Each structure stands twice: as C-alpha cells, then as structure tokens.
Amino acid sequence: MKRVSLTQYLVEEQRLYNNIPAELRLLIEVVARSCKTISHAVGKGALGEVLGSAGSENVQGEVQKKLDIISNEMLLEANEWGGHLAAMASEEMEGIHPIPNRYPKGEYLLLFDPLDGSSNIDVNVSIGTIFSVLKAPDGMAEPTEKDFLQCGAKQVAAGYAVYGPQTVLVLTTGNGVNCFTLDREMGSWVLTQRDMKIPAETKEFAINASNARHWYPPVKRYVDEMLAGETGVRQKNFNMRWIASMVADVHRILNRGGIFMYPADAREPDKPGKLRLMYEANPMAFIVEQAGGAATNGKQRILDVQPQKLHERVAVFLGSRSEVERVTSYHAE
C-alpha cells in the first residue's frame, strides 16, 4: 500500500469532506506528536525511571503512576502554544486547564485520559491515550467547566493511541475510522488501516468477571447466556478477553468484533459505573459508531448522554451492534 502520512490523510480528508479546518488538523497533529513522545517514554520502562507510583492521587482518588503525570504534562505542554485551543481537561486534573494568556486562544476544547490502563504500566501490558475534541461554544469568554459539558454527539474528532507491540493511533473526524502505525525509525505516523468496520456479529465479550456477584440482573442474564454457549439459548460458544486497558480491548473489538462492558453494579449503587463519560466513553463511542458499531449506557446511546459534571462516570456497553442492542434490550425489560 502506498505510504500515506497522517498529514497527507488529513489534507485529503479535508478536500473530500470539508470538515477538517486547518486549526483542527493542527490540533490532531499536535496530539499525535504528543502520543509519539508518550510512546517513547512508556517504551523506556525501567530504563527510563518512569515506572512506579508518583506517591500522589488524582481527582478520581486513584494512585497516580509517574507515567500518568508525565503523559499529562506532555499533552499540556504540546497543546498550549499552538493557538488552536481555548482550554483542556484531563482525567488527571480536577479543574479545566485554560490556555495561558501568553498564548493565543483557538476555538477547540481538548479532553483526554493521558494514560489509560495505568494498572498495566508496571507489568508491560498495553496502555494508551484517549482524546476527544469539542468546539468551544460561540461567543465564549473565559472558558469554564460548563463549556465542556456537551454531549458526545457534539465531538468533532476523537482518537486513541495504543502503546503496545506496535504503537497505533486510531482516529475519527466523523468520516469513518482510520488507523495509523508509528514508524519508529522515521518517527512518522503511517496509514495502515482505512475505514475500519466492526463486525456486526461476534463470539467474544470483554468484562471484568470478578465483579459477577455484584452485577444487576440484565447483565447477569446476558453474560450467563454467553457462558452457557451452544447448550443455551444463544446456541453458540463465546470467548472472553479482559485486558483492563480500555484502549486495548476497544482496539481488538474494532479489528475482530466483540462487546466491551463496564456496567454499573451493586458495589456502589449511586455510581453509574467506573469509566468516565467525557474522555473515555464519549471518544470511544464516537469511534465505535463511526466503525458501524453501537455504544450505550444500558439505557440510551452514550453520545446522547447530557453531562452534568466534568468527571462524571457512565456505564459502558460498546462494540458489535447486535450484541450491544441485545444487552441494552435486557435492561428495558
């Protein structure tokens, strides 16, 4: 396949769809460059003295790894000066991060989970970066948290990087989903999968089964039917995978189908689930829908959920459309 760089792809997509203005292209290229830098830091592992805990907690009350903080800083520093952003928000920071006054401001809002899957960092299992791009509201003065509280359907771009055996960047701007692989020798992103599509049917599911005793009935019924395999109502056998890095599980599903679930459960009845809506569920839901899949919170399309708080959590069922529709229908009964 002729080598197509990320820049060439974005320029050609702009010609085709006219929905990637130069400022958005610059934003995507800066985030992609940050992912290269993060990949390099992650790849050093113990040799780079970047492993282990940072001895602090983030706004979620989770112990921060050194690489969580390093990745967050890399994204902030790379995106501050370009003039394409009005503000940023991150899983690792309580409040929003306005662009410093010494730099020009742009019309986009960038949200990210700088290093998703932190529990896997120290044991050399794939981790990644997830990002979401919104337009700043027209006439916005000083950006506030409220300006970020837009439903996922308003995203203008979303993507994730997986730092694994290969470093890949998966991206959508609303015209389908494309995957770029990092050419580590040249330091450039090369288009390696065009217009990715999730198979509608699947025989593979992803859920943390250690929580089974806490699941609510619709999830329990759905998983039990798959565990019954060809002897049960589904009349086919299923396989299970759980990497505990959403980016890695979603990337597998984009490539070979499947359903990823992080449901609410009885452990914390007032919590709708573990994953965060704004910078995990929304970007992944945008990508999955653009690849022909579906993404709900068990009751409604994730992209239609109206956020109330920047770090709010949401239940997630995403992947092969027929399976997401099935488990969602069980919630409606």
The answer to whether 151 contacts ligand P6P (rule: CB under 6 A) is no
Cβ-contact 13, 156 below 8 angstroms: no
Is position 211 annotated in a ligand binding site? no
Cβ-contact 243, 125 below 8 angstroms: yes
Angle at 15 between CA 14 and CA 21, to 5 degrees: 30
CB of 240 to ligand P6P, least distance (A): 13
Q: What is the dihedral of CA 119, 122, 128, 131, to 10 degrees?
A: 60
CB of 304 to ligand P6P, least distance (A): 22
Is position 147 annotated in a ligand binding site? no
Task: Provide the H-helix boundaries in 173-245.
Answer: 217-227
Q: What is the dihedral of CA 70, 76, 81, 82, to 10 degrees?
A: 110
Is position 274 annotated in a ligand binding site? yes
Q: How far is CA 91 from CA 49, 67, 136, 224, in A?
A: 23, 13, 19, 33
> Which part of the chain contacts ligand P6P (CB under 6 A), choosing from 77-85, 239-247, 306-314, 320-328?
239-247
Burial track 48-61 (b if 16+ CB lie within 10 A, e otherwise): eebbeeeeeebeee
Is position 138 annotated in a ligand binding site? no
CB of 68 to ligand P6P, least distance (A): 10
Q: Residue 55 has which token pair?
A: 């001895």
CB of 293 to ligand P6P, least distance (A): 16
Q: Residue 258 has which token pair?
A: 């499947």
Per-residue contact string for residues 179-218; x = within reach of ligand P6P by CB under 6 A: -----------------------------x----------
Task: Specify the residue, 118 or 173, whose C-beta has the smaller distance to ligand P6P.
Answer: 118
Q: What is the C-alpha separation between 182 and 33, in angstroms, rounded?
A: 10
> Which part of the chain contacts ligand P6P (CB under 6 A), choosing from 63-71, 215-223, 243-251, 284-292?
243-251
- Give the list of residues 6+ apart from residue 53 with CB closer than 8 angstroms, or none: 63, 64, 65, 66
- Give the list of residues 6+ apart from residue 125 with CB closer than 8 angstroms, or none: 117, 243, 244, 245, 248
Task: Specify the residue, 123 or 233, whose C-beta has the smaller distance to ligand P6P.
Answer: 123
Is position 95 annotated in a ligand binding site? no
> Which part of the chain contacts ligand P6P (CB under 6 A), choosing from 36-44, 101-109, 185-193, 240-248?
240-248
The answer to whether 246 contacts ligand P6P (rule: CB under 6 A) is yes
Per-residue contact string for residues 263-282; x = within reach of ligand P6P by CB under 6 A: -----------xx-------
Radius of gyration of the chain (CA): 19
Per-residue contact string for residues 89-118; x = within reach of ligand P6P by CB under 6 A: ---------------------------xxx
Among 8, 19, 56, 119, binds ligand P6P (CB under 6 A): 119
Is position 72 annotated in a ligand binding site? no
Is position 319 annotated in a ligand binding site? no
Task: Provide the H-helix boundaries in the chain.
Answer: 6-17, 22-44, 66-80, 145-148, 217-227, 246-256, 282-290, 321-332
The answer to whether 235 contacts ligand P6P (rule: CB under 6 A) is no
Q: How far is CA 49 from CA 46, 66, 78, 121, 123, in A?
A: 5, 9, 22, 12, 14
Angle at 217 between CA 215 and CA 218, to 5 degrees: 100
Per-residue contact string for residues 300-329; x = within reach of ligand P6P by CB under 6 A: ------------------------------
Per-residue contact string for residues 10-49; x = within reach of ligand P6P by CB under 6 A: ----------------------------------------
The footprint of ligand P6P (CB under 6 A) covers 116-119, 208, 244-246, 274-275
Report the binding-site residues for Mg(2+).
Answer: 91, 113, 115-116, 280
Report the binding-site residues for substrate.
Answer: 116-119, 208, 274
